[in-house]
Amino acid sequence: MAICTGCSLLCEDIEAAEKDGALTHVKNLCRKGHGHFQAAFTERTVPMIDGEQVDLDRAITKAAEILKSAKSPLLYGWSNSTLEAQAVGIELAEKLGATIDDTSSSCQGILMERILSGKLPTCTLDDVRNYADTSIFWGSDPSSSHPRHLSRFSYYPRGEKRQKSYEEERTCIAVDVRKSATANLCPNYYFQVAPSGDAQFMEAILAVLEGKIPRVGDKKKMIGLGSILKKTEWGVIFAGLGMVYSLQEKMDLFEKLLARLNEITTFKVVPMVGHYNMRGFNELLLEKTGFINRVSFKDGKPAHGPEHSVVAAAKTCDAALIIGSDPFSALPFGTARALAKVPLIAIDPRRSLTTDGAKVVIPSALSGLEAGGTGVRMDGVKIKFEPIMKSDLPTDEQILTRIMEAI
Amino acid sequence: MVGAMEIYMLLPKTNCKKCGLDTCMAFAVGLLGREKKIDECTPLIEEKKYEAKLKKLREVMAPLENASETGLIIHPEKCFGCGNCVVACPVNVAAEPTRCGVGLGPQSDKVILKVEDGIVVCGNLEECRRFGPNKTLCNACTATCPSKAIEFV
């Protein structure tokens, strides 16, 4: 059995075997995972310095030189690396006195912080399958982002206490700004909110739970939602980026809602993490420094703050190492432009806009397919995986260790 | 998906009984259920005034030719490979209760629906509840599809 690293579900039931350098008849892999694995056969990176192909040793030496001579380097990415590689990365940041940040900084960071510090109650996805009778997809569309989420855990499978599953015992509710593919599966329980209207919607739910008339939305439908929530035995909210971006500093309101729901019944939160090991990095950094992201080791000890986020650090750093991420495509234009001005080192198995713009490109093995390691699923369960294919390419961990040795 | 009424509108509507059925509406239902073929409606084929209707009818019936014995049509370009149908199908669950039943992908070939290379494929159609004369109109796979990639005729 292979493990798919296409998203943070880390599906464990994939049947794949290599035949003549290709993967065919892969069983149980969703379309997203299939695309993720097939991309390993096209557009691979080669070691490059200033756009010219060089050998791997030279690229690694050059990368070490750039990092060594930089005064305030930035190490960014990490969400698509194994736990082992991330541990070496944090060590490297300490050694360099660098700023280290991952994709959660501009993604689910504020939610993850509250979950890892215990402010929001959480559970594993196996608990969801076994006990949950109400699944709320808030600002998330797993049918598109995590295709197997509903079929493996949250709606369709039978569980220990949910033998009748979606037909009788489970309710699926979608709260979103548009009728997503997931909302199509529960048209009766789809609640449309205005863009950035999530806080108002939360207040409306709190009002309904107190027996008051809600101010927003269809009043009858909201009262119906209130009674579903009250009747729930074991509920779970899958908080997606839509909700996190919309709430921002109003995150306390979400805490308040969860506290109120837990007075009535059991309600948990599971963050809909995108990349396969974002949570792993957050947990690892929290353990080592006490912060989940945006850490600077400049003065010897870890400092945390918005000034150390990738968006701010991109403008102040004088060199950057990007690993397993494509900030040129994903981050705001201003940040990408600032990053493009400094010497960049990109470690990536595949070609991206960032590798195209980087000074040094170091190819790495694709984790899950060509490299083994450990990943942390969106709910915090550690999953170990072995490579499916043989590859001569070094893993992220090996590359980072070699860079560290050369500094 | 084409309906019986739409097919009926493209037939001669004379109830001539040449196809062996009493009405053109019954013939339309027969066409939809794939018990009858367009060629069995002889006036439609032979008489020139129905030429346009015949052409249109063949057009609307073309997608149905790809349907399996149970009338299942899979649109691979729309499929997410999410496996909702694999887990929801009662026959799949009965065949592999410890895997399909709890959300995992099937291992054996006894199942009807499975995901291969990111897209759903079907097999063992004689096991489907819609197969044969005593069929029931089960819709577990179509109702759970987020992208309408599975349809029944």
The mean pLDDT of B81-108, rounded to a whole number, is 92
Q: pLDDT averaged over chain A?
A: 93
What does each C-alpha distance from B95 to A225, A247, B109 come to in angstroms? 37, 45, 9
- A95: Cα within 13 Å, side-chain hemisphere: 16
Contact B34, B2 (CB under 8 A): no
Instruction: Give residue B153's pLDDT.
Output: 76
At B124, the pLDDT band (50, 70, 90 cuts) reads: confident
Instruction: Give residue B152's pLDDT.
Output: 84
Model pTM score:
0.89
Query: H or E element: which one contains B20?
Result: none
Domain boundary (A228, A248, A271) is at A271
**A255 and A122, same structural domain?**
yes
At A7, the pLDDT band (50, 70, 90 cuts) reads: very high
**A354 and A232, same structural domain?**
no
Per the listing, tokens 């690892």 go with A284
Check pLDDT > 80 for residue A312.
Answer: yes
**A139 and A89, same structural domain?**
no
Tokens in use for B98?
Answer: 């410890």
Contact A102, A277 (CB under 8 A): no
Burial of B59 (0-12, 13-18, 19+ CB in 10 A): exposed
* Residue spans per domain, chain B: 4-65, 72-152
Calculate what percentage of chain A has a pLDDT beyond 70.
100
**A365 and A288, same structural domain?**
yes
User: Is B115's CB within 8 Å of A29's CB?
Assistant: yes
User: Is B118's CB within 8 Å of A144's CB?
Assistant: no
* Residue A15 touches partner B, C-beta closer than 8 Å: yes
Asked if domains B4-65 and B72-152 share a fold, the reply is no
Residues of B in contact with A159 (CB under 8 A): 102
Nearest CB partner across the interface for A31, out of B87, B101, B118? B118
Q: Where are the beta strands (DSSP E) in A196-296?
A: 234-239, 266-271, 295-296
Tokens in use for A168?
Answer: 């009788």
Contact B71, A139 (CB under 8 A): no
**A257 and A122, same structural domain?**
yes
Nearest to A314 by CA among A290, A288, A293, A333: A333
How do strand A18-19 and strand A22-23 relate by DSSP bridges? antiparallel
Contact partners, residue A316, CB within 8 Å, separation at least 6? A72
More confident residue, A310 or B65: A310
- Exposure class string for A86-98: b at 16+ Cβ within 10 A, else e: bbbbbebbbebeb
Range of the domain at A228: 109-271
Tokens in use for A48?
Answer: 């490059």
Tokens in use for A133?
Answer: 């009778």
Does A395 fall in a domain? yes
* Residue A178 touches partner B, C-beta closer than 8 Å: no
pLDDT digits (tens, 9 = 90+) for A313-354: 999 999 999 998 999 999 999 999 999 999 999 999 999 999
**A310 and A345, same structural domain?**
yes
**A286 and A265, same structural domain?**
no
| 3-state secondary structure (DSSP) of residue A341 | helix
Instruction: Give residue B92's pLDDT.
Output: 93
At B58, the pLDDT band (50, 70, 90 cuts) reads: confident
Angstrom distance (rounded) from CA A372 to CA A385? 5
User: Is A156's CB within 8 Å of B84's CB?
Assistant: yes
DSSP letter at B104 equals P
Instruction: Give residue A165's pLDDT.
Output: 86
Angstrom distance (rounded) from CA A173 to CA A171? 7
Query: H or E element: which one contains A313?
Result: helix A310-316
Per the listing, tokens 């700004």 go with A177
Helical residues (DSSP H) of A15-160, grouped into ranges: 31-38, 56-69, 83-96, 109-116, 125-131, 142-145, 149
Angstrom distance (rounded) from CA A260 to CA A262? 5
Number of residues assigned to chain A:
407
The mean pLDDT of A65-72, rounded to a whole number, is 94
| 3-state secondary structure (DSSP) of residue A371 | strand
* Residue A185 touches partner B, C-beta closer than 8 Å: yes
**How many domains are there within chain A?**
2
Strand order across the beta sheet in which A73-77 lies: A52-53, A48-49, A360-362, A344-347, A319-323, A73-77, A99-102, A295-296, A303-304
pLDDT digits (tens, 9 = 90+) for A360-404: 999 999 998 899 999 999 999 999 999 988 889 999 999 999 999
* Residue A35 touches partner B, C-beta closer than 8 Å: yes
Nearest CB partner across the interface for A147, out of B82, B87, B88? B82
Angstrom distance (rounded) from CA A189 to CA A332? 34
Q: Position A170: which residue type?
A: R
**A158 and A256, same structural domain?**
yes
The strand pairing partners of B109, in sequence order, are none
**A95 and A157, same structural domain?**
no
| 3-state secondary structure (DSSP) of residue A263 | helix
Calculate what percentage of chain A has a pLDDT beyond 90.
85
Tokens in use for B121?
Answer: 């494929």
Check pLDDT > 90 for residue B149.
Answer: yes
Interface test with B, best of A28, A34, A145, A165 (most B CBs within 10 A): A28
**A313 and A189, same structural domain?**
no
Report phi then psi at A160, rounded to 5. Answer: -50, -50
Angstrom distance (rounded) from CA A52 to CA B115? 42
Chain centroid to Cα B132, Å, comes to 13
* Residue A160 touches partner B, C-beta closer than 8 Å: no
CATH 3.30.70.20 describes domain B72-152: yes
Gap from B90 CA to chain A (nearest CA, Å)? 11
Tokens in use for A112?
Answer: 């993850």
Nearest CB partner across the interface for B104, out of A13, A150, A184? A13
Q: Determine the residue of chain A that is closest to B88 in CA distance.
A: A156
Q: What is the DSSP track for B47-94? A: -GGGHHHHHHHHHHHGGGGG--TT-EEE-TTT-----HHHHH-HHHHH
CATH 1.10.15.40 describes domain B4-65: yes
Check pLDDT > 80 for residue A252.
Answer: yes
Per the listing, tokens 């009965």 go with B94
Instruction: Give residue A328's pLDDT.
Output: 94
